[in-house]
């Protein structure tokens, strides 16, 4: 660990927001490769987030965002475990980022679990008909259907969308990174998006 330079640790901290010792450990584990260290920290964050996922989230914030021009507005409820975390700049920044995400990307649901059975069946039926029209065998049609449904979830479900500020990160990964950093479970509970004329 001692051969990892302070400037490398600083660079990794700026990229990830992780603590100094975590950055140093990640760099040591990846032989100083900054990109591999970022992945290492993200994986560690995901496992830390998974451990916290069952804890109650009874505090949090209702965030709002009105897009320039006043034609789109968003309200979102994001929960955490304590009022202390809800008041941190990190948590408030997450709420703001998610508000902007909802305004820009127009998700219909928070997660896959919220997709109603009728919407799911309608989408599957449309994609199945499209796949069958190609004349491919049934096994291939099912693979096409699976891929199309993954794409649907990636567009319709907030947590599966690519983050507008960094398309390499999903909203779920963004939330998981904050869980790892703040040490509390965080949950996007619900949102409403308003658009003039809709």
Per-residue pLDDT of the chain (198 residues; tens, 9 = 90+): 457 887 888 787 767 666 667 778 888 888 888 888 888 877 776 545 555 556 666 789 999 999 988 999 999 999 998 889 899 999 999 999 999 999 999 999 999 889 999 998 998 888 888 888 888 887 787 888 888 888 999 999 999 999 999 988 899 989 988 888 888 889 999 999 999 987
Tell me which DSSP letter residue 134 carries.
T
Residue 162, beta-bridge partner list: 170
Residues 6+ positions from 166 with CB-CB distance below 8 Å: none
CB 61 within 8 A of CB 190: no
180: nearest Cα among 87, 50, 21? 50
Q: Tell me if residue 17 falls in helix, strand or coil.
A: coil
Query: What is the number of other CB atoms lying within 10 angstroms of the CB of residue 151?
Result: 12
Domains and CATH numbers, the chain: 6-52 (1.10.8.10), 59-110+157-195 (3.30.479.20), 116-155 (1.10.286)
Predicted TM-score (pTM) of the model is 0.69
């Amino acid at each position: 660990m001692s051969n990892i330079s302070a400037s490398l640790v600083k660079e990794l901290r700026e990229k990830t927001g992780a603590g100094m010792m975590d950055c140093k450990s990640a760099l040591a584990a990846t032989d100083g490769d900054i990109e591999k260290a970022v992945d290492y920290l993200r994986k560690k964050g995901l496992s830390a987030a998974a451990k916290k996922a069952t804890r109650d989230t009874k505090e949090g914030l209702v965030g709002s965002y009105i897009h320039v021009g006043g034609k789109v507005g968003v309200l979102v409820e994001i929960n955490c475990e304590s009022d202390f975390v809800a008041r941190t700049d990190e948590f408030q920044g997450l709420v703001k980022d998610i508000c902007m995400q909802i305004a820009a990307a127009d998700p219909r649901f928070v997660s896959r679990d919220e997709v109603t059975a009728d919407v799911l069946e309608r989408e599957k039926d449309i994609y199945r008909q499209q796949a069958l029209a190609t004349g491919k065998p049934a096994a291939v049609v099912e693979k096409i259907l699976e891929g199309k449904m993954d794409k649907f979830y990636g567009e319709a479900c907030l947590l599966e969308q690519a983050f507008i500020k960094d398309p390499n990160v999903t909203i779920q990964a963004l939330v998981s990174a904050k869980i790892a950093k703040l040490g509390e479970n965080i949950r996007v509970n619900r949102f409403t998006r308003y658009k003039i004329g809709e």
